[in-house]
Structure 1
Amino acid sequence: MKRAIIDNKGIPPLAGICTYEDACKPGFTVDRSVELLKRFNFISKGLNQMQAAHLARVPEWEVKSAFGYHLWLDAEHSAAIRKRVSEMREPPLGLDQVPDEKLRVWLDEAIHGDDTIELLVGFYRVIRAEIIKALNRYLAEMNRIAEHPTYRLLRGMLQDQEEMLDWGEQALAALIDSPEKELHAQQWEHHLLAYLRDAGGFSGMIRK
């Protein structure tokens, strides 16, 4: 079957949201979209709680102030996701349930960082980096017309997460001032990534 050719006279189609070709791709089912959004919510809520738990403990003032700001952003992301899921599903929404026990174990391991370097590696270099990968995958695979409210939500989340990760990497660069500390950071990163691999990544689909 030949696809109809639309002459848009060079004007960006569909209000610039996407091309007609992209608008025809299947994207995610509602069930799959809700499942992934619940995972974003679970990790955002987890980061909020982890940073709150360590806010008083970390000695560096700049890290304290960043944790305070970033846990607020995570709370905003969680609230926005919960609202979006409520638009897609009838109660009970199951937003306070653990979507994957191995994701919970991964986050539980990250909260046990022994010092500021381990906390920054866990919260930023590992967890936020994984969120960014998952957001980019979702945005690339979704149908931006069918899921436009979700597209706008996740696009904003992505910008915030990228800015937070950038801060985290700059903070780590300042704190890691010796080969011993670099090795320490790498070992903790590899430790947490092993838990993430065991969970099958953010989506749970990459199982051994």
Structure 2
Amino acid sequence: MDMPSHPALKHHVEHLDFMLYHTQQDLDHSREYANQTHARILEQGDAIKMLANDRRTLRQQRAKKDATITRLRAKIAALEATVKAQEEQMKKMEEDGDDIQGGSAFLSDDDDFEDDENTEEEDYEFLDAGEDDHVDIEMAPPTRNANQDAMMQMLQVMLEDREAERAERQANIAALQQLANNNQGHHDHPGSKLKNFQNTNPPVFSKTT
């Protein structure tokens, strides 16, 4: 005996079938979303590891640069001390040069014009020349001015050499200071990459949390 169909029951069964179909689609979408979320989590984990390695590398580079800056500052201090010592030496040399120029080392003594007790008469025979005779005596140029000029030229050359060395050392000090300032200003912040990564690639699953 066939059972008569019930219209309300049939409608209810069709509704349940429709709901089951859509529930299955929602489950498939949820599974796909879970797989994508898991893949993103793995990708972000790899990115975090890479950023941690970069951060460790940057810290090592910063430590090396700090050591370099410390060494350069010590070298600059040593060069400044050397320049100061050479400036003092140059001042001392200039003072010594003034003493040489103003001293009386090249002046003749009055005793030089006194007669020597051991001088014989024949030593003065060249003075007994006739009326028309003359004796040529070669006069040596004055040695005081020549010696002073030579001494001043030598001192001037030494001062020019010192000035050139001083200028070269000053240039080296300026270059080292510039290098130290450049090394000190090139430190990158380790967390900037992570911040940029988070801003440019937001996780999809953040909407559900």
**TM bin (shorter chain):** under 0.3
Q: Which has the higher helix share?
A: 2
TM-score, structure 2 normalization? 0.27
**Larger relative contact order (C-alpha < 8 A, sep ≥ 6)?**
2
